[in-house]
Chains A and B, each alone.
Chain A
Amino acid sequence: MQGVLGVYRELDAACDAIRALRAARVAKITAYTPTPRHEFEDALGHATSPVRRFTLIGGLLGATFGYWIAIWCSAYWPLVVGGKAMKSWVPYTIFGFEVMVLIGGLSTVFGMFALSRVPRLVTTVGYDPRFAQGHYGVWAEGAPEQMRTIEETMRRFGAVEVRGER
């Protein structure tokens, strides 16, 4: 995909450039920042991350499995101690809880990776190592006729470097 990468020293400059690009109806904009900043979320106008759905589904599956493994094993291989109930929900809540946390936590991480498209094998296109350090970046993809407008917009807001990549 063809695009333009702008490198910024200042946070507000990068955010202003993003707002201007959105106003110019640029289709795909990616911001790079060394640390999460709410200013970028506001400028890009993204919805809340759906990672929570993975957490909920994983947690429910984990809790179900935790209770089920304890109940099923006790029924399959009865170990009666002190005349206590074979399927005892109080101690089995420990398994329900622990496996809920385990599967819920791991599915949260899976959700984060899947939604972020991580692991990523190629980091070179539309990326600059400075974005992990002190600079902010804006990568904009668009039709070939938009490239000139994108470059001019990025320069107007004080980009220290603007380069086209594909």
Chain B
Amino acid sequence: MTAGSYPPDGVPLRPNVASADIQLPAVRDYEQVDREIAGTLSPTLGWFGALGVAILLFLWGAGTWIYQIYWGLGNAGYTPPVMWGVYIITFVFWVGIGHAGTLISAILYLFRAGFRTTIYRCAEAMTVFAVMTAGLFPIIHIGRPWKFFWLIPYPNWRLLWPQFKSPLVWDVFAILTYLTISSTFLYIGLIPDIATLRDRETNPVRRQLLAILSFGWRNSDTEWRHFTRAYLFLAAFSTPLVLSVHSVVSFDFAMALTPGWHATIFPPYFVAGAIFSGIGMVFTIIIPIRRFFRLQHYVTLNHLDAAAKLCLFTSMVVGCAYLVEFWVAWYSGNAVEQHYFWNRVFGQWWWAAWIMLICNMVLPLSLFSQKLRRNTIWLFVLSIFINLGMWFERFVIVVPSLSHEFEPWQWGSYTPSWVDLSLLAGSFGWFFMWFLLFIKQLPVVAISEVKEIVPPKFRHARGAHGRAH
């Protein structure tokens, strides 16, 4: 069962005619918000089906990981000199996906961008699950996952400490901080909504559970006063964190003396790519959700239009970074660098490079058309291409550099094995399993924040801004 009928009874269907004053014209009052968003939590047959597929994919990936642990990392398709492959590519891919959530929830919050209100919860949850997925891949990549904790600085009997000048240790700090702060940000925003669900719940067991999860939240002025300030400061902390985390991930490459990697453009290039890929995944998720949960009057075409403009902008930043890379290689006069970039686009890896360029640079230019920005089918199809293109961007960064270093005797090739591809598929299963579980337990649209943009009831007539007439 899904939310109430669409359009709601007695309301004219004009959900996409909005103004600065009224963002959600088809949402009349707080009770409607509660009823319709809480209504999305009832499981449906389609949801069970999707969850089943996700769990199967996850189990396939988990089984393959056990196989790899038993038989060794040699099954992963690594062939010297390419000793980084699908696992590192997929790690960077998922970390990137995790960036749009915090961008939408924190940065757009600070900029007071109205279109974030109805999509940020999805994006935040996506961030947490994407970072959870990303964090698995360095552990899978090291081959002996039980030794992962050696990267964490803690007093130990061997008196060993990690190398603090190593980008791998930087990664540990950056990713763990990002996961902790993103999860905290998500949960803090959820507390008032869980309290709303608690107060609507009739089942005593569920009600008790929701009371515990909401920490006894009562919507008092004291709670809101501290909540709003804390939320603001968390957003202010999360904003530079978004920029720092993918910069740190880019240092994994930029610190190495390898053609194509050792470039100062990498941090902004990675951050722009991460935000672009994350917005692509937001479209992949939010478009089916608004369709199947009948939330078209919450996630309106205006919101998608605004998000599509952000997508177009970040696509152009990423495209600019691609072109600057080529220009720097040419301008440097470094023969190795020039040959490497030629090999990337017209040589051994042309097919991967062109998938990247077409998906990330060319297709998003369609978003200059307002008609296409407001066409949900096109946005969904485009988002799939963006996901594909951004995975291949990381492929193009990792594999061609390692397969084509300074000396011809170092050159080689790389083909992912079935183990690599199974773990890649398993990562999608893991991610969507958590996401699907989330959307049926907790609201995908922030109830309390939507209420902020729904005009409250007044005893005396007011204007659109709440001023008395």
Q: Which residues of A contact B (CB under 8 A)?
A: 9-13, 30-37, 39-41, 44, 46, 48-49, 51-52, 55, 59, 66, 69-70, 73-74, 76-77, 79, 81, 84, 88, 91-92, 94-95, 97-99, 101-102, 104-106, 108-109, 111-113, 115-123, 127, 129-134, 158
Contacts and interface: CB of A to CB of B under 8 A. Distances in A.
A49 B230 CA distance: 9
Interface string B232-248: 01100110110010001
Contact of A35 (B177, B220, B222, B449): B449
Given A73-B153, A102-B181, A116 B226 contact: yes
Given A77-B159, A104-B237, A10 B459 contact: yes
Closest 8 CB pairs of A and B: A120-B216, A129-B199, A112-B230, A134-B30, A35-B451, A119-B215, A49-B229, A73-B161
B219 interface: yes
Contacts of A73: 153, 161-162, 164
Contacts of A117: 222
A51 B238 CA distance: 16
Contact of B34 (A49, A92, A115, A134): A134
Nearest to A94: B170
B212 to A, nearest CB: 8
B184 interface: yes
B219 to A, nearest CB: 5
Given A32-B220, A119-B216, A132-B198, A106 B165 contact: no
Contact of A109 (B153, B162, B184): B184
Given A91-B164, A94-B244, A120-B218, 4 more contacts: A10-B457, A12-B459, A98-B241, A109-B234
Given A115-B226, A123-B216, A102 B459 contact: no
A13 B161 contact: no
A99 B181 CA distance: 11
A101 B218 contact: no
Contacts of B238: 101, 105
Interface in B179-222: 180-181, 184-185, 188, 192, 195-196, 198-200, 211, 215-222
B248 A132 contact: no
A79 B163 contact: yes
A83 B159 CA distance: 23
A10 to B, nearest CB: 4
A108 B196 contact: no
Contacts of B174: 94, 98
Contacts of B211: 123
A30 B226 CA distance: 14
13 contacts: A30-B220, A30-B221, A31-B221, A33-B219, A35-B451, A36-B448, A44-B221, A77-B159, A77-B160, A94-B174, A94-B244, A105-B237, A117-B222
Interface in B362-383: none
Contacts of B241: 98, 101
Interface residues of B, number: 65
A12 B468 contact: yes
B458 interface: yes
A79 B161 CA distance: 9
Contact of B229 (A52, A92, A94, A105): A52
B456 interface: yes
B293 interface: no
Given A11-B457, A51-B226, A116-B223, A36 B452 contact: yes
A123 B184 contact: no
A149 to B, nearest CB: 21
A34 B451 contact: yes
B228 interface: yes
B227 interface: yes
Nearest to A87: B164
A108 B165 contact: no
A41 B170 contact: no
A9 B457 contact: yes
Contact of B233 (A36, A52, A97): A52
Contact of B219 (A46, A109, A131, A158): A131
Given A111-B226, A116-B223, A132-B199, A98 B173 contact: yes
